[in-house]
Amino acid sequence: MIEEYRYITSCIDHALTVAGTDINGLFNRMYMVPDYMMDHSKDHLSQDMCFWKPERAAISAADFDKYEKLTGIALPETYIMFLSYKHFVDLFFAHEASFFKHTRSWIDDNMQRICNWGRDITLDKGLLPFADAYDGGMYCFDSNTIYPGNEYDIVYITAADSETPVPYAMGRFSFIQLIEEMDASLSNWYTEMTSAM
């Protein structure tokens, strides 16, 4: 598990470094950025866009228990590692999946996202959403099949057909595999971007 934690945290840092240093910086719409995460050392980009900075996450076991009770689904150990590391407004991985905003209010934010889609489409079917897709769909853990460490396959639901979750990949595909894929996507994107300069 220590190796997985190191890998997950290095991928998060990679995404934050590429966006924060090699692109234009970490920025988003002001209403998306909590005041405690605003980077006041930089001027706002516009009236409604500001820079933000990640912060160390301080999530207790009680917080994770609360979220699991609200959702009725035990969290994958690798996802707990992911959430435990840093708070962020967004993570750029040059991938079709975009993790939910992860700030101090992550439980309420995630529950709001789930309620927007509907418990009947997600939690009642054993699906725990954790990321948006660029085409309006959502990535979910499918808790109907449990692997060691509460790891689940990842499925995708679309706005057009939210009744039929689609496996993200053939065979077993876990959260750590998604992180690996996303980090590889970011590395490929970065290589292409820098070679074109």
CATH of residue 159's domain is: 3.40.1580.10
pLDDT at 139: 95
First to last CA, the chain: 39
> Residue 53 burial by CB count (10 A; 0-12/13-18/19+): exposed, middle or buried?
buried
Give me the domain span that covers residue 127. 55-195
In a domain, 31, yes or no: no
* Cα separations in angstroms, 133 against 17, 47, 105, 139, 180: 22, 27, 21, 7, 17
> What's the pLDDT tens digit per position in 140-191?
999 999 999 899 999 999 877 778 898 887 667 889 999 999 999 999 988 8
In a domain, 155, yes or no: yes
In a domain, 25, yes or no: no
pTM above 0.85, yes or no: yes
In a domain, 47, yes or no: no
Cα 37 from Cα 127, distance rounded (Å): 30
In a domain, 44, yes or no: no
pLDDT at 147: 93
Q: Read off the tokens for 37.
A: 């995460």
In a domain, 39, yes or no: no
pLDDT at 190: 86
Cα 193 from Cα 176, distance rounded (Å): 26
pLDDT at 115: 93
The kind and range of the H/E element at 132 are strand 127-133
Cα 43 from Cα 61, distance rounded (Å): 37
Q: Would you give the distance in Å from CA 5 to the centre of its chain?
A: 15
State the total domains in the chain.
1
In a domain, 117, yes or no: yes
pLDDT at 22: 65
In a domain, 94, yes or no: yes
Task: Write out residues in the chain with pLDDT < 70, as ranges.
Answer: 22-24, 170-171, 197
